[in-house]
Copies of this chain bind each other. A is one copy, B any other.
Amino acid sequence: MNSRSKETPKSTQMKTQKTRPEIVECVPNFSEGRRPEVIETIVGAIRDVPGVTVLDYSSDPDHNRMVVTFIGNKETVLDGAFAGVAKAVELIDMEKHQGGHPRIGAADVVPFIPISGVEMKDCVEIAKRLGAMIADKLSVPVYLYGEAAQDPARRDLANVRKGQYEGLKVAITDPDRTPDFGPARMHPSAGATAVGARGPLVAYNINLGTRDVRVAKEIVKAVRAATGGFTTVKAMAVELEEAGQVQVSMNLTDCFKTPIHRVFEAVKREAMARGVLVTKSEVIGLLPVQALVDLARFYIQAHDLTVENVLEARLLEGQ
């Protein structure tokens, strides 16, 4: 019924004459997840910048945190990021902030990611420009992290966030905590901000059918890099009060090196060994279609499947 050639090439790729569009992704995280009007105002400030497309936003009251995903070119993405940070600095008071996720400021972290027609060094450049603007115009100290880090220790965001907002208020005067931009002094209500560049990261949560957070903590230890797990996985345990469940909350920092399905299967198996089932998993934000292709190759053994088999990806090429 269906033919696959053994000799001739499987598919032809039509290369277009057009240059690839210039797309930078930005995924700022702000420390607000409980007041809908504040969430909407921050998103609106970003969306209103010409040349910016907001692709997604989500928030969580347990974490008291929100994430916005938007794209633009090298100039507009910078303007969009600054607009969001400025609004967060205006509306969020860290002295009153409580939530389940580590944070250092109202605008906690602002990463830039190269998507199309740009390279990592372009995103590092944008991060540095934004860092200077935030310090100069908003009086918020800035730490460069990830690929934009000037100090190798700051390549890891966890080092930048050590002690969180409350600890950094004291530690900011230590020589190894000197900000990259701005004074060695927290903004009185907005704290500090980390700005950086990185590759595409998948924010991925797996919920477990138990109230016992110790199960989640054991599984976190099993999968995270710091304790013998996968090199690209960061993880933490979260209690989901509303749902009466617990969660393994992860950042997969390279979903092509360590695919989502491998992490899922490891967590699922660890849970089952403890008499617990996965109730659901969730991807926060955007996934590259390659990650879904990798998942299909694994589960339905479609060893020859590629992005070229996906209609929408081929439509993008043709434009």
- Copies of this chain present in the complex amount to 2
Q: How many A residues touch the partner, as a band? A: 35 or more
Q: Does A66 contact B (CB under 8 A)?
A: yes
Of B36, B55, B200, the contact of A7 (CB 8 Å cutoff): B36
| A284 adjacent to B314 (CB under 8 Å) | no
Q: Give the residues in chain B near A120, CB-CB below 8 Å.
A: none
Give chain A's interface residues, CB within 8 Å of chain B.
1-8, 10-12, 14, 23, 33, 36, 39-40, 43, 47, 53-63, 65-67, 71, 101, 115, 200, 203-205, 234-236, 238, 242, 249-251, 260-261, 264, 278-289, 292-293, 295-296, 299-305, 308-316, 318-319
Of B2, B56, B251, the contact of A2 (CB 8 Å cutoff): B251
Those 5 A-B pairs whose CB atoms lie nearest each other, nearest first: A3-B60, A1-B249, A2-B203, A292-B292, A5-B59
| A8 adjacent to B36 (CB under 8 Å) | yes
Are A2 and B315 CB-contacts (below 8 A) given A54-B12, A59-B8?
A: no
A67–B10 CA distance with the chains assembled, in angstroms: 11
Q: Give the residues in chain B near A60, CB-CB below 8 Å.
A: 2-6
Q: Give the residues in chain B near A5, CB-CB below 8 Å.
A: 33, 39, 58-61, 66
Q: Give the residues in chain B near A289, CB-CB below 8 Å.
A: 289, 292, 310-313
| B311 adjacent to A14 (CB under 8 Å) | no
| B2 adjacent to A284 (CB under 8 Å) | yes
Interface centre among A3, A47, A62, A200 (most CB of B within 10 A): A3
Closest to A116 in B: B315
| A316 adjacent to B314 (CB under 8 Å) | no
A56–B318 CA distance with the chains assembled, in angstroms: 12
Min CB gap A294→B, angstroms: 10
Are A4 and B205 CB-contacts (below 8 A) given A286-B310, A295-B299, A316-B315?
A: yes
A289–B316 CA distance with the chains assembled, in angstroms: 13
